[in-house]
């Protein structure tokens, strides 16, 4: 049975992955589901943190925080926002642009995950929901703040790319979460009304973007936070 918790926002927080029948009981007009990627579809947030910490070790960056605090700073933040936070830390390469930082972090991330079994970052319950949704004819879209190149590679590693009719990345958007533009764009290109769409998001930044679209929103809290 799926478990809901009331959040501080006027949305539900879900602490376990639902079945499609459970979702349709709450959203009978459901025609499409939009997923965030990191921390929602895939349990990858901890690997993003590990990828960042490796940059620190490789380049002699001295973080002013513990690894636990750094993880909290990274969760839900797009890479360009992370860069703005860390670029002034002692030892950070002064010549680096945002692109240099993102490329290095993504290289570390993909190397880490290439040695991790798929089940470690894609729970069976998520795969079951994707299968149910696809079989029932629902439209699935992915809306992420990650770059196209790393998004496509993560979806390939997880073997879930073919479930999504649309994949919207940071590279496709003039505005980024918490702005609702990525989700409004998803509504447009999937030709669905907001009343027929459910969005899963895990971070406060992502939830703000999802709520701004006017669609139904559930905060996904089914992956461990550390």
**Which band of pLDDT confidence, cut at 50, 70 and 90, is reported for residue 226?**
low
As a whole number, the mean pLDDT across the chain is: 92
3-state secondary structure at position 219: strand
Locate tokens 């639902």: which residue?
A: 18
DSSP-derived secondary structure for 83-129: HHHHTTSTT--TT--HHHHHHHHHHHHHHHHTTS-HHHHS-HHHHHH
Closest CA relative to residue 146, chosen from 3, 41, 27, 18: 41
CA 60, 63, 68, 70 dihedral sign is: negative
Shortest CA distance to 180 belongs to which of 204, 211, 216, 218? 211
Question: Is cis: bond before 178, omega within 30 of 0?
Answer: yes
Provide the token pair at 222: 């089914």
Q: Which has more pLDDT, 153 or 6?
A: 153
Cα–Cα distance between 96 and 105 in angstroms, integer? 12
pLDDT, tens only, 26-81: 999 999 999 999 999 999 989 999 999 999 999 999 999 898 888 888 877 788 88
Residue 201 confidence (pLDDT): 97
126 token code pair: 């998520």
Backbone angles phi, psi at 149, to 5 degrees: -65, -40
Residue that has been written with the tokens 């990525």 in this structure: 182
| Low-confidence winner among 62-66, 129-133, 149-153 (lowest mean pLDDT) | 62-66
* Model pLDDT for residues 155-174, shown as the tens digit of each residue: 999 999 999 999 999 999 99
Q: What is the pTM of this model?
A: 0.90
């Amino acid at each position: 049975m799926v478990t809901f918790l009331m959040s501080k926002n006027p949305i539900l927080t879900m602490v376990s992955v639902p079945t499609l029948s459970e979702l349709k009981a709450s959203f009978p007009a459901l025609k499409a589901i939009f997923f965030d990627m990191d921390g929602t579809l895939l349990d990858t947030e901890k690997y993003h943190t590990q990828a960042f910490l490796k940059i620190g070790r490789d380049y002699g960056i001295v973080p002013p925080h513990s690894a636990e605090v750094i993880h909290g700073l990274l969760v839900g933040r797009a890479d360009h926002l992370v860069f703005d936070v860390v670029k002034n830390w002692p030892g950070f390469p002064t010549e680096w642009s945002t692109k240099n930082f993102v490329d290095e972090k993504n290289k570390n991330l993909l190397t880490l995950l290439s040695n991790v079994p798929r089940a470690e970052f894609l729970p069976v319950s998520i795969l079951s929901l994707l299968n149910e949704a696809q079989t029932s004819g629902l439209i699935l879209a992915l809306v992420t703040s990650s770059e196209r190149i790393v998004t496509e590679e993560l979806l390939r590693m997880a073997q879930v790319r073919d479930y999504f009719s649309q994949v919207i990345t940071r590279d496709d958007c003039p505005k980024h979460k918490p702005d609702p533009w990525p989700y409004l764009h998803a509504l447009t290109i999937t030709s669905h009304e907001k009343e027929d769409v459910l969005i899963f998001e895990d971070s406060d930044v992502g939830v703000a973007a999802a709520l701004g679209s006017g669609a139904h929103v559930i905060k996904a809290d089914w992956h461990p936070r550390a």
